[in-house]
Structure 1
Amino acid sequence: MIRIFGDKIDEFIFPNEVKRFTDQENSLIEKFMVSLIKLYKDSDLDDTSSEQYYDRIDDITGLIRKGIYLNGYYFYFTFAKLFKSGVKKKDYVYYSQFINDGENSRDVKDTEKFKEELEKDKYISGIYVCCLKERDYIIGEGNEFDYGYPIRTRYGGSELTSQCLNRIENYHFKKFIKIIKESFKKKKKRKV
């Protein structure tokens, strides 16, 4: 689609239900935070904020930030929504971090499958996640231009596909919980 107006006007004239964080994605993030709070006695949600963006060159359309205390340690999460329409097979290289969808290895077959999905869907969407524990990144290496850990999102209408929803809940969020639990076991070395 040729864009005549800026992102904000385009969105008003041609609305897209999945361009921003969907209600389902917001609910998943909330459920994840609640599950963390239930794991530890001395826990509390400290801060939450969200922002919407238009016409960003990095295709980020929104941010959700959450601060949470777990066992006396402060964790700061950033969830960044990426959405780009009009994507073609040849554009895969710009979004190659989503090929793995959280896996550490990549197969040539995965790259080809990803290219075909882009050609079929005509869009790419995902959520970047990063988490600071005190001052150290334990998930992703986020900053304003690199949001770290990529989660690919795909939709059937305005809802995540069942495969995508299952992967977020049973793979990504469980992986994050494991990383957080392991962060409590690590002792910082004293500087001499």
Structure 2
Amino acid sequence: MEPELPPKVSARDEITQFKRKQILDAAVELFQRNGYHGTSVDAIASALGMSKQFVYYQFKDKAAILNGVCTAGAELTLSAIADSDSSTESAVEQMRAFCRRLTEIVIGHGKYLATYASDIGALREEDRKRIMAVRGEVDDRVSRLIAKGVGSGEFVAEDPLTAAHAVTGMISFMWTWAHPADPTQRATLVDQMTSVALRALGVNQP
């Protein structure tokens, strides 16, 4: 049976995604510098060298931009465990892949996570609940992976969900201190954080 190919993305959709990412990246920089409430849509448009209408064409208001930033961070984290889930390797190798990918995401998109942490209270209630549900799904899927490893004798964890919170929390919190610009430093940090996470689950590292 032929593997199912992912749906093709049209050129128009690619352009839309690019424009939205431009807006989100500019907004994140301003949110971090001036705070959510201290940033206007005019300021975001000015940072892009675009008109305010350009921003409003993609997002109906500033709250929708904040939701886009926080949603992107949550979905990136979910993608890390989703990629690991699709693997047929051992629980250790699946966890290794997850930790490496999550560390790379946190290093590369730390400002998105910082915005979520600082401005979660400004999200609309329905948006906050939806994003929290995504983050809950991440912990649930990681806990199932840990439970699998405990069952196979690969991991040691008294409670898989607590262990999942510990692993994802430890790596996700890196946005507060990990900002390596050099690729070699980034690679080393990915290796180190993955090793720490696996050791926390009772995996002996070489």
- Calculate the TM-score normalised by the size of structure 1: 0.31
Higher radius of gyration, 1 or 2: 2
Quick check: which one's strand share is greater?
Answer: 1
- Calculate the TM-score normalised by the size of structure 2: 0.29
**Higher RCO (CA < 8 A, seq sep 6+):** 2
Quick check: which one's helix share is greater?
Answer: 2
